[in-house]
C-alpha cells in the first residue's frame, strides 16, 4: 500500500516535468536552457537600482508584458520584472529564482517568484490573429432538441508550432540560475491576475547570497 501511495504521488509530478520537456524540446531535441536577456551597458540603464552587498540589482517592472529578444509576449496571469545583476570584475553570484519576491501596493503578503514553467500555459502573442473563415456557425440538433441553435463560441487554438516558439522565447529570456559570472540579466515572474492600473506601488525584494535589498520600482 505504501508503494502504491508513493506511485500515485510521483506520477503526476513526473508527467508535469515530461510535459514541460516536450514543450521545449520537440522532436527529441535538447531542451532550451534559460539564458536570460543581454545585460544592459550599466545598471543606470534600468529605471530602478539597489545594492545587496557587493552586487548592484537593477530592475524594471513590465506589468503583464513579457519582453523577449524576438518579440514582446504577454500573460494575463502573471506580472514580470526585468532584472540585471552587476558586480565588480570577476564577481560571481549563485542565483536562484526563490531569492526574489514582489510586494504590490504595500501589502504585507508578498508574491514569490515562480518558475517559468508555470507561466508557459498562460503566454499569448498580442500580434497573433486567428485565420479568418467564411464558414457560418454550425447548428445543433442536440441539447434542447431545437434545430437551428448555434453552437457556443470556442476560442481558436494557437498553432502548436507557435506555442512551442513562444515557450522557447520565454524560457530563454528567464533569469538563469546557478553559479554565474556577473553581469547577468533576465525575467522574473509573479502571479497577479489583476489589472496593472490598480497597482500603485511595486517593490522588488532580494534575499540571497549577496545579502538583502528592497528596490522600489515604477508601476
Report the C-alpha gap between 43 and 61 in whole angstroms: 15
Report the C-alpha gap between 22 and 37 in whole angstroms: 23
**Half-sphere exposure (CA, 13 Å, Cβ side) for 85?**
31
177 neighbors 96 (Cβ within 8 angstroms)? yes
Query: Domain segments of the chain: what residues?
Result: 1-31, 34-126+158-217
What is the grid cell recorded at 66? Answer: 513579457
pTM for the complete prediction? 0.76
Average the pLDDT over 80-87 and give the result.
Answer: 98
Question: Does residue 14 or residue 55 have the better pLDDT?
Answer: 55
* CA dihedral (27, 31, 37, 38) positive or negative: negative
- Segment 120-161, tens digit of pLDDT: 999 999 887 666 665 555 555 555 545 556 666 566 677 788
208 neighbors 85 (Cβ within 8 angstroms)? no
Question: Does residue 17 or residue 114 have the better pLDDT?
Answer: 114
- CA gyration radius, the chain: 21
3-state secondary structure of 128: coil
Number of C-beta neighbours around residue 176 at 10 A: 16
**Half-sphere exposure (CA, 13 Å, Cβ side) for 56?**
15
Q: Is the pLDDT of residue 5 over 70?
A: no
Average the pLDDT over 65-79 and give the result.
Answer: 96
Pick from 15-24, 29-38, 77-86 the range whose average pLDDT is largest.
77-86
Nearest to residue 38, comparing CAs of 69, 70, 80?
A: 69
Residue 18 pLDDT class (50, 70, 90 cuts):
very low
172 neighbors 34 (Cβ within 8 angstroms)? yes
Is it true that the peptide bond before 183 is cis, omega within 30 degrees of 0? Answer: yes
Q: Which one-letter DSSP state was computed for residue 204?
A: E
Q: What element of type H or E holds 190?
A: strand 184-191
What is the grid cell recorded at 162? Answer: 507557435
Q: What CATH code is assigned to 34-126+158-217?
A: 2.60.40
Amino acid at each position: 500500500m505504501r508503494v502504491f501511495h508513493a506511485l500515485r504521488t510521483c506520477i503526476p509530478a513526473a508527467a508535469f516535468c515530461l510535459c514541460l520537456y516536450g514543450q521545449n524540446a520537440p522532436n527529441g531535441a535538447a531542451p532550451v536552457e534559460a539564458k536570460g536577456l543581454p545585460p544592459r551597458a550599466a545598471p543606470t540603464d534600468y529605471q530602478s537600482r539597489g545594492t545587496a552587498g557587493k552586487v548592484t540589482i537593477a530592475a524594471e517592472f513590465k506589468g503583464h508584458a513579457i519582453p523577449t529578444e524576438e518579440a514582446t509576449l504577454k500573460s494575463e496571469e502573471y506580472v514580470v520584472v526585468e532584472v540585471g545583476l552587476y558586480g565588480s570584475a570577476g564577481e560571481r553570484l549563485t542565483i536562484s529564482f526563490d531569492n526574489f519576491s514582489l510586494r504590490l501596493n504595500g501589502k504585507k503578503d508578498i508574491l514569490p517568484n515562480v518558475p517559468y514553467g508555470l507561466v508557459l500555459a498562460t503566454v499569448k502573442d498580442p500580434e497573433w490573429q486567428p485565420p479568418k473563415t467564411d464558414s457560418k456557425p454550425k447548428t445543433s440538433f442536440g441539447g434542447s432538441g431545437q434545430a437551428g441553435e448555434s453552437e457556443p463560441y470556442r476560442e481558436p487554438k494557437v498553432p502548436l508550432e507557435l506555442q512551442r516558439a513562444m515557450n522557447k522565447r520565454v524560457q530563454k529570456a528567464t533569469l538563469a540560475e546557478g553559479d554565474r559570472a556577473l553581469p547577468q540579466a533576465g525575467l522574473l515572474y509573479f502571479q497577479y491576475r489583476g489589472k496593472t492600473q490598480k497597482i500603485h506601488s511595486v517593490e522588488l525584494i532580494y534575499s540571497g547570497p549577496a545579502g538583502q535589498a528592497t528596490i522600489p520600482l515604477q508601476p
